[in-house]
Homo-oligomer: A and B are copies of this chain.
């Protein structure tokens, strides 16, 4: 580890830059949390408004279940991990959101299938034939259990995760997706990614869960790694069940921000496992490769979608710059640097962070814009919507603040640059 520690003056400069970013990130986290606390709480029905305009006004009162679960998780996580967020109003709002989910998320209780979007008062409007509403429900419940100690939340989390695993690995018929004769045998990287994230969530400081889901975690990592294709030259979003490239646009589809997110999920997994080969592989294939092919050389920022053959994607928004690929890239690159100390990764982190703070951040009303055009100008002025809530931005800021703190504490006590210091745990 010690070999990469910079010496003397250089180290002092690095420390200053890290310290500056730690402060920027921490202050931004405060502002972002303040935005959601000021504008998103539904005092009447519980849960959160997420359709918020630039200044925070509610432009629609629909309740998207992904975003309800994510905000509950985020509030609890901040409450649990940061002294300065141990505030009763965060916990109370998280609990009200949790009660809203418990009461309304499932379409036909005791069945576990959750709606995608609900009316303000909790009546289901639409159901997706996927597992994602259920995954965010699980994250919320597990984190609620961690902050409250109330066992019924954890029971909800485990039962839901077991149902999800059943749908994914045993029998998907409960999801309601028809399997037609021409349907390709396609597997999306999103599914094992989400599951790996849930395994990580449930196993934290919990030996029972760590044991119960150890095999699932390995299975997820294996499945995600199958998306590295073309002799290691491309991460593809969809591959066949036996890990081959699929034909057509479906097979060539790439999402660089998603690959980077998978990267830090995998890296965290590999660090926990103590698997040095996997760590190297993940940094190479899921951090550096998607960053290099996904970064727009003309205008900066990560493209939303790409085609592995360099053809034009068919998605209208392919060249837009979305907030979440950039927040995931910040996490991934800083975690990669924390792991292997390669200064190239730190410089990429700075590159993404500079772009992100400059282009997405709204100094006037707080929070970040979500959707920029290819050139980096704001295309949608909304701060929240059907897919943007209180999640990617504060998760990124919270994790970066922690990782920057760990890096600084690793540098701080070292007067003799040759002496090294214990490695920070980037997966904390």
Contact = CB atoms under 8 A, between A and B. Distances in A.
B382 A312 contact: yes
Interface stretch (A58-66, A292-300, A410-418): A58-66
Q: Specify how many copies of this chain sit in the oligomer.
A: 2
Interface string A153-194: 000000000000000000000000010111110000000000
Q: Is the interface of A mostly helix, strand, loop or mixed?
A: loop
B181 A311 contact: no
A182 B311 contact: no
Contacts of A115: 180, 182
Nearest to A377: B374
Nearest to A59: B311
B127 A380 contact: no
Given A60-B249, A380-B314, A182 B51 contact: no
Contact of A51 (B118, B125, B314): B314
Interface stretch (A3-11, A33-41, A77-85, A317-325): A317-325
Given A60-B248, A316-B320, A320-B316, A183 B125 contact: yes
A182 B249 contact: no
B373 A123 contact: no
A51 B307 CA distance: 14
Q: Which of A60, A382, A386 has the most CB of B within 10 A?
A: A60
A371 interface: yes
A163 B427 CA distance: 58
A426 interface: no
Nearest to A182: B123
A312 B52 CA distance: 10
A107 interface: yes
Interface residues of A, number: 44
Nearest to A371: B316
A376 interface: no
Contacts of A118: 182
Contacts of A183: 124-126
B123 A181 contact: yes
A386 B314 contact: yes
A304 B316 CA distance: 12
B181 A380 contact: no
A181 B124 contact: yes
Contact of A180 (B59, B127, B249, B385): B127
Nearest to A320: B316
Interface string A376-397: 0001111001100000000000
B180 A107 contact: yes
A187 to B, nearest CB: 16
A320 B118 CA distance: 29
A120 B167 CA distance: 30
Given A59-B311, A181-B123, A249 B316 contact: no
A20 interface: no
A339 B181 CA distance: 50
Nearest to A118: B182
Contacts of A313: 380
Contacts of A126: 180, 183
A256 B82 CA distance: 49
24 contacts: A51-B314, A53-B312, A60-B248, A60-B249, A60-B314, A61-B247, A61-B248, A62-B248, A115-B180, A124-B183, A125-B182, A125-B183, A126-B180, A126-B183, A127-B178, A312-B380, A314-B382, A316-B316, A316-B317, A316-B320, A316-B379, A317-B317, A318-B380, A373-B374
Q: Which 9 A-B pairs have the closest CB atoms?
A: A123-B182, A316-B317, A119-B182, A60-B248, A125-B182, A124-B180, A123-B181, A314-B385, A312-B381
Given A61-B247, A107-B180, A316-B371, 10 more contacts: A61-B248, A125-B180, A125-B184, A126-B180, A126-B183, A314-B380, A314-B382, A316-B320, A318-B380, A373-B374
